[in-house]
Amino acid sequence: MGIRNVNLMQKYFALFILISFTTLSQAQENEVINKEMRSAIEQIVSTTAIPGISVAVAGKKGLIWSGAAGYSKLEERQTVSQGHLFGVGDLSSFYVAVTAIQLIEEGLLDPNAKISEILDDQFATLENFNKVTVRQLINQTSTLNSYEQDNDWQRRARGIQFNPKYVWRKDEPLKYAINSKNITMGVPGSYYAYSKTNATLLSLIIEKISGGLLEDEIRTRLLIPENLNETYMDSYETPPDGSLVGSYHHGTNEFISNIGINAKFSFVDDGNLIETSNSSLSSEGAAGSIITTPRDLALFHIAIKKGNFFNLNSLDYLPKISKNGFEKYHSEILGFTSDMIILEKEELVIVSTVNISTAGSGPSQINNYLNNYMEKIILPVAKKYAK
C-alpha cells in the first residue's frame, strides 16, 4: 500500500473518531437537557393546579424531545401519556390557512377575492362582508368580529346552554359574529387582530372551492403526506377510543355568573374545577376543533417552515406574531390551554398543552400562570437543544 493511501486512511480514521466523539458528546448533552425538561414538566404539575401536561420540541431534522406528566383523569388518577390528544384551540386555524394556501398555489383560489364573491349572501350582514379578502382571512387582518366575543355564543358553546354531545354545523358559529353588537376594530387589512370568524369563513370557502369536506382536505393534503397520524378534527372524525385526554375548566364565580355551568358537568377535586371531558369542540368552529398531540403539532409546523406544503414564498400569507425575537401563540378553549413558540434562528418549534383552562373565568393566579409558564419555565430549557 502506497504512502499516499496510508495517509488518506489515517485522515479518514481521524475524521471518523472526531465525528464519533462529537456525536457521543451531543448525545450526552441532550440526555442532560432531557432530564431538565422532564424535571420542568413534573414540577409544573406537582406545584400547580394543572392536572396534566404534554410537551414536544421539534427541529428541521424531526422530533427532538417529547414528554408528559400528571393526570388525564383526576379522580381515577389516570396518567397522561405522550399519545393523548389535546384540544389545541385557536392553533387549529393554521391547518385551515395552510390548506387555503395550497388552493391558491394550485390556481383554484384568488387571494385577493372578496369573500362576498365566493360565499352566499347569508353572511352579508357581517361588517365589511364586501371588503374582506381571502388573504385577510388567512393572515388574520380582516378585523372581523370574533364570535367568541358574543355572550350568547359563550353560553351555548361553553356554558349553561352547552350540549356536550351536539355537533355544530361548520357555519353555525358565524351567526354569533353576524348578530354581535360589537363593531369591527378597524379597516380590513390595516393590522393583525385574531378572530375565530376568519378561519371559520375560510373553511367554508375551502369546502366550496375544493368540493370536499374540510376534514378530508386537511387529512389528504397535510396529515397523510407528513405521516401526522395523531391529528383529528374533533366531532367530524373519530380518533381511537381512549386517546382524548380528560379535560377541566375553572368554574369560578365570574364564569358561573356570565357563562354558567352546564348541568351535565360536575365539580371535581374539592375545588372549582369542572370536568369537561369528551365534550364536542365543534362549537369552536374550524378555528378551534383540532385535537392532536404536541409532537404532531410541532412536526406540522416544522413541515410548514421547510416548505413541505407549499413554496416558501407563500409563508408570507401566514400571520407571524413576533415577541422578544420569537413567535408565540397562546389559546384557551373549554378544558384546554395550548402554547406554541417558534424560534426562527434556532429552527425549533416548542409546543405545550395542558388539560385545564380558565377561559371566561376572570383574573386568577392560575390564569396568570397559564399565560406565562411556557415562556418562563419550558422555553429556557428547550432552547438548549439548539446549541
Bridge partner residues of 220 (DSSP):
none
Task: Fill in the amino acid letter for 174.
Answer: L
Nearest to 358 by CA among 272, 264, 287, 243: 272
Q: What is the pLDDT of residue 8?
A: 52
Q: Could you tell me the three cell numbers for 269?
A: 377535586
Per-residue pLDDT of the chain in tens (387 residues, 90 and over written 9): 555 555 655 555 554 454 444 454 567 788 999 999 999 999 999 999 999 999 999 999 999 999 999 999 998 899 999 999 999 999 999 999 999 999 999 999 999 999 999 998 888 888 888 999 999 999 999 999 899 999 999 999 999 999 999 999 999 999 999 766 556 567 898 889 999 999 999 999 999 999 999 999 999 999 999 999 999 999 999 999 999 999 999 999 999 999 999 888 999 876 789 999 999 999 999 999 999 999 999 999 999 999 999 999 999 999 877 777 789 999 999 999 999 999 988 899 999 999 999 999 999 999 999 999 999 999 999 999 986
Q: What is the pLDDT of residue 181?
A: 55
Give the residue carrying C-alpha cell 380528560: 246
Q: What is the pLDDT of residue 30?
A: 84
**Alpha-carbon distance 326 to 323, whole Å?**
5
Q: At what angle do helices 196-210 and 93-105 cross, to 10 degrees?
A: 40
353 touches 53 (CB < 8 A): yes
Nearest to 58 by CA among 237, 286, 226: 226
Q: What is the pLDDT of residue 270?
A: 66
Q: What is the pLDDT of residue 11?
A: 54
Q: How many residues does the chain have?
A: 387
14 touches 7 (CB < 8 A): no
